[in-house]
Structure formats: C-alpha cells, structure tokens
Structure 1
C-alpha cells in the first residue's frame, strides 16, 4: 500500500487484501486511446465514447440556459436550501483564504526591486463526478473557489446520465458553461478542445480511475489540481475511541466506491477488536453494504501501534486523504501530524461535514500525495508570477557578479548582456 517502510512494531488486526496503487495501473492503454481519438476526431470521438461508456446518444453536449434554469426550478426546495447553505460556507472560507494571498514588491538591495503578482487563470475545466450517486456537493467544491479566485471562464463537465440536480448545482455554483460529457473523454475534450468544448488552462475535480489517468496523461500542456481518488479515510484513536462512531465513519466513506481505502490506526488493542466486530455488525443493516463491504474487504485495515510516536509515524507514512483524530487531547495531538489531505480534529469533526457543507474542500490528495501537496483551494486557480526591475544602483549591485559568473560558466552572450548595462552606466 505504501512505498515507504512500515515500522515492524505495528500489528495488523486486519490487513488490506489488495493494493490500491497497483490496482490503478490497468486503465492506461484505454485512456491513451481515448485521448488520441479525441485529438483527431473531436466531438465525433466524444459522442462515440459517450454512447459506449455512458449509454447516452446526444446530438449536443452543452446544457442550454433554459435547461439550466429548469433544473434549478425543479430542485426540491429543501435540497436547494441545503445546496445554497453549502455554497455559502465554501464561498466564505474561500474568500477568507483568498484574503491571505497578497501581491508583493520588495527592494532586497539598493536598486534591486523584486515582486510577485497573483493572477487568476483564464479558463478552468471542472470535472464533476456523478456516476454511482448524485454527489450534490461535487460542483460546489470545484466551481465556487474558482469563482472567488476570479477565473475568467469556468467550464463544467459531468456525466450525461448524472442527476438533474447536479446541473442545478453547477449553475448555482457559478459555472459559465456546462457540458454533458463524462469520464476520460471529458478530460480529453477540456484538455485538447473540440468543436463544442473550448480548451482550458487547468483541469480540477475528482473522478474514477479513468478520469485520474486521463488527467495524468494530459498534464503538461494543461495543468491539473492533483490525482484525487479513489477516496480514503484513516482514523487515529487511543483508548478514548468510540468503536461505534469509528466504524460508522469508516463505512460512511467506504460507501463512496468499492476501491475506497479505509483504516484505523490505534494504540489500543481492545478498541481495534471492537471496531472490527462493529464494522461487521453495521454492514448487515447498511443499505450501501454492497459497495462499502467490498471496499472494507479489499482495502480496509486496522493496525495496532505500541505507542503514540509509532501511530504518528505510520499515519505520516499513509498520508491519508481524510484523517480523523479521536484521542484524549485531540488538538495537541493534531499539531504533531504532518502528512494528510484534510485533518478532522476530535470526534465531533466527521468527514461527512466536509464532504457536504461545512466549508473546507473535499477534493483532496490520495495515494500518499498528502506528503507533498494539500487539497483543492482558492489558490489552485491562481498563478503566482514574479517580476523584477532595477535602477542604476541595482545594476551596480548585480552586474559585476553576473559578469563574473557568466564568464566562469563560459557563457559569453550572458556576460555581454550583463556587461553592456554596466558599461553604459559607467560611460
């Protein structure tokens, strides 16, 4: 499950039966074919793959303004209220984050002026998953921060068979254009452009293995947020852990997908055994047990650590997408953790609140990527670019060392460019 060594003092009460990372490798060839065809054939290839994979025959992909408005009108009133509640929370947090992003200009030496600007992207593509369940929060998480960041145009793609409420969610969140295209063909269309879909500068949003692989393959000419998915949850618990609550939270995440990775890391052997029993009990009455049970069977794990330090070390190796802390002093414990997508401190902070509506983003790094990146946020839609300018004092500061360094490297053109300005200043 991880490329890093696991401490040999850890005892596994339940080990995963499959390797989530290795299981991710089988879709590469198919995705490469999709990208190649979309590049060559545009809309025709997208239409063909939509019929093949989604069983949807569409004459046009874009959702009209009338269809968008009708989808909003048909929303259940309570669903609309809850959707707007979530949009409000995500917007407020994104605005607060945006407020921390400041342009900069500083004179580091006499006459040497350096700075940076935060510039919103021109056009972003937001992939909105909607296959197994109508994930009403998904468009909110990718579109609302883009709107707050000031992105010029926001393109949303969602599977053609997605629930109509998902279209309403895209509209209410602020998407400029919405397309009924899903899977790898959606990523290809947004990255490469077709007759209907304009090419974007960056693609964001979670998806299945095919969407992730497509994002990986198009990266370079276009940016991506990260390779997000399948979902993960790990819970860190000591003797104060509640077996029923822990099992409930594990299964809540496991019902996302049969490939969801779920785990408990604890210092208490009795709690480990209790959670193992409680998961089996809850699966018997869970309506989504077919999905959650398969995920638990294949990718679930429970590990017992000899002490807190080992528990922290193993957690940082896993670098879980969602990491819950159920310990006696959760806030103090949380400050010792470094690697995760998003941290849920104390038993009251369930992943479900972030998944749906509390305001933090649910598009997060998986497969250990939490060791080097965080999740989707307003800064994901901005590029920070540097600039510099110099007056005469600045030339006097930097030209002589630049001349000498260029000469020592044998780069005569560089040396001349640096020397020219110095000569004119001195002449």
Structure 2
C-alpha cells in the first residue's frame, strides 16, 4: 500500500533566511566591526534594554548570582554537568594522535590540537537554556580549549541566575551578559573589551543563526541550526500516549517545529493524534506546541519497519525516537539523524537537559552529512611529515618530479629534483646552470 498520511503538515519548514533578518544582521556586524564596544552597547540597549557598566561579570558578581540560585537547582546543574563531562571525556579518549613510518626514514603523522579560544552562546529568549552551557563549555574544556567566553542575554531586563551558575560551573573563563547578533559579532570580531575567539558554538534564534552564518570563515562555527525537529518511529506495540507526550515536548520549542510520527500501525497513529489533541488542551505551552503540531505535525503509516526506517532517513530529523520491540535495530538500519533515542524508557528531553549526550544537533537535513557538537569539533587534526633518510628523500624527490611535471608544475618538480640531486646524485641541468 505504501506510505499514507493520517495527518499532513499544513506548512513546509522554511529553510530560507528572511531577507529582513539578513539585512539587519549585516548592519549590526558592520557597525560593530567599525565601532566596537560603542556599537555593542547601542544594540544591547535597543534589543535587550540592557546597558550595565560592564557586560562582563566579575568574580564577585558571579558568586553573588550563584548565591541566589536554589540549592536544588545548583545540585541538578552539577549532576547534569557530570554526565556531560563523563561522556565528553569518553569521546575525547577515542581521538588519538597518529604517527607511522610509511617506508624506512619517512614519518607521517597528525596531532589533535585544541582551538585556542572559543565562544559559547547560551540563549535566553522564551526559555533560559542553561543546559546549553553544559553542552558548549564543558565540551570545549574537555577538548582542551584554553579560554572559553560565555555570552547569555538578560531575560526581560533580568539576570538569568541559573544560566550564569551553569556557565560558571561548566568552566567558562569569562561570562558576559550579552545576547543576540551583538554577542556573536563581538566574539567573532573582537572589541575593546571582548577578545576575538576562533570558534563559536551554541543555538539561538534566527538572528543568532544568521550572524553565525555571515561570520563563518572569520571564525569556525558548530552548525547552522534551524528549528527543533522530532521524529518517532513506532511499531504496533508502542504507547500512543507516550508518543503524543514526547512529540509535544519538542513542539513547545517554537511555532515551527516539525513533529513527525512514522508507524506501522494505523491504530497507534490515530490514538497518538487523539492524545496529542487532548494533552494540548491543558498544556501550559500549548500556544507554541499547538501551533507546531497544527502546522508542522505529521503522522504517516507504512507497511513495515524497514519502510519506516527508510522514510525516517529521508527526513534526517534532528531527534529520532525509536519505539519498537527491538529499538537497537535502528543503529544498523538508519544513518541520517542528529541523535537516536532508543526505546520508550528514554526521550529527547533527556538529551536536551541532562543525560550527557550533546544537544547541539544538525537540523534541516544536515544529519545527512554531519553529526552534532562534540569534543572533536573543538580539535584541529593537523598533519606533519618528516623525512630523515637521504635515500628516501631522493627517491620521493624523483617521484615528486614526475608527478609535478604531469600537472605542469615545474617549480614543484624542481623541489623534488633538488633532493634527488643532493642525495642520489641525479644529474639535473637546471641545477648545474643555476649554480654557475
């Protein structure tokens, strides 16, 4: 029968950047490039109504802020960060330096060197995403980044206490109460008071994403992120109430979250729709979650799990939950996703907040060619080579000469000729004439 929709998305996710956003961001970047701190302050006043004596928090300010955070919240931050750190350290342990002797006297290798300075953007906006501090700062520090700057915006003119605490406990070397395009531009370009970084990570709104896009090349970035995405693959044993709950848990991120169910059971599909509509009635974030579910929600019935996995790979969703009798099967059946959540005992919210895997993940089909943020993103794998044998240098020189002349690179060829001349006594007329 093929795939059939029980619920079809009313809208298609818009991957194009609004031209107005592009123009505003470019104007802010150009102004900060020309006017530094003065421009940063002007935009912070304009967009966030925030203009303190210093955007950078002093150590005493940080300690005063932490003192205002409930003890249970501090304990929870530390426990979640322990999980993130433990997993990041395990990832780092898999990345090794390499050196091999490919032939006698010829050594090739690579070193994994950390970036010197990184910026971590921790969003505010609708929600204080303090978990983003765990994901960006701890991961950088485990990779060995020497200096990490954290930027987070004030929320409605107020200090986000828990976010500041999370950034501090994660190991941020400097914390700035600064948000939006102005924060990204200041970190990427540098100002009188904010030293330029080499790499910026962290999610954000359309303006933050566009600023990272425009500044990519000036600095490295983690991902070009779009709206949150969630997809559930379910068989006929899956619990529709759990499916509905988990789809809506991600739909509350914003009004444009694709929330998709692919199932082999029409009954599971229909019941999931019914429960989603029922849960939304009393859900505190129903305005956002309901808009996403109405406009971007899909429920698709397929004939087999193989077809479900194949279709899920086409979606290449940021978050993919597997609610089947054998959820680990997805590890072999699927390759396109940001992260997999296997079985009904886990959920995307665990990954978002506390379980230890990174929540900065690819969206807009980018899971087809990249993974999410991890320690490897903060490392530069840099190669080196050394020839210590005269005989080997001469022989490679001969090869280099032939390879280079096949491409009409005479200058390259002559570097090879010279080694063959010096170490193997090969005659080369151009060398003898140049040395006269």
| Aligned equivalent of 1:16 | 9
Aligned to 1:3: none
Find out whether 1:183 has 2:180 as its counterpart.
yes
TM-score calculated relative to the size of structure 1 = 0.95
The answer for the alignment partner of 2:62 in structure 1 is 68
- Contact 1:205–1:228 (Cα < 8 Å) also in 2: no
Which residue of structure 2 lines up, in the alignment, with residue 205 of structure 1? 202
The alpha carbon displacement at 1:110 in A equals 2.6
Report the equivalent of 1:419.
417
Bigger CA radius of gyration: 2
Q: Which residue number corresponds to residue 55 of structure 1?
A: 49
Runs of 5+ in structure 1 lacking a partner? Answer: 1-7
Distance 1:48 1:115 in 2: 49
- Paired position in structure 2 for 1:158: 152
Where does residue 217 of structure 1 map in the other structure?
214
Distance 2:15 2:342 in 1: 31
Q: SS of 1:94's equivalent?
A: helix
- Match in the other structure for 1:366: 363
SS at match of 1:42: helix
Matched, 1:125 2:122: no
In structure 2, how many angstroms separate the alpha carbons of the residues matched to 1:63 and 1:338? 43
Tell me what 2:397 maps to. Answer: 399
Q: Post-superposition shift, 1:361?
A: 0.7
Q: Deviations over 1:194-244 (max 9, x none)?
A: 112111000001111111111111001210011123211111011111110
Structure 1 match to 2:304: 307
Offset at residue 23 of structure 1 (A): 5.6
Structure 2-normalised TM-score? 0.93
Instruction: Confirm or deny that 1:81 pairs with 2:75.
Output: yes
Alpha-carbon shift at residue 152 of structure 1 (Å): 1.0
| Partner residue in 1 for 2:430 | none
Question: Is 1:265 matched with 2:262?
Answer: yes
Secondary structure of 2:164's counterpart equals: helix
| Residues 306, 333 of structure 2: 8 Å contact kept | no
Mapped contact 2:240–2:272 kept (Cα < 8 A): yes
Q: CA RMSD in A?
A: 1.5
Q: Does 1:319 align with 2:316?
A: yes
Instruction: Name the counterpart of 2:433.
Output: none
CA contact (8 A) 2:391 2:423 kept: no
Range with bigger deviation, 372-381 or 106-115: 106-115
Deviation at 1:307, TM superposition (A): 2.2
Partner SS, residue 175 of structure 2? strand
3-state secondary structure, aligned to 1:287:
coil
Name which of structure 1's ranges 51-60 and 291-300 shifts more when overlaid on structure 2. Answer: 51-60
Q: Partners of 1:22 and 1:339 in 2: how far apart?
A: 18
CA distance in 1, matches of 2:315, 2:46: 37
Alpha-carbon contact 1:327-1:333 (below 8 Å) kept? no
What runs of 5+ residues in structure 2 fail to find an aligned partner?
A: 426-436
Instruction: Return the alpha-carbon distance in structure 1 between the equivalents of residues 362 and 133 of structure 2.
Output: 18
Deviations 1:41-75 (Å, cap 9, x if unpaired)? 11122212212222223332111111111111221
Q: Choose which of 313, 338, 358 in structure 2 pairs with 1:341.
A: 338
**TM-fit CA distance, 1:81:** 0.5
Look up the SS of the partner of 2:333 in the other structure: coil
SS in 2 for 1:335: helix
Query: Counterparts of 2:215 and 2:12 in 1: how far apart (Å)?
Result: 25
The answer to whether 1:387 aligns with 2:384 is yes
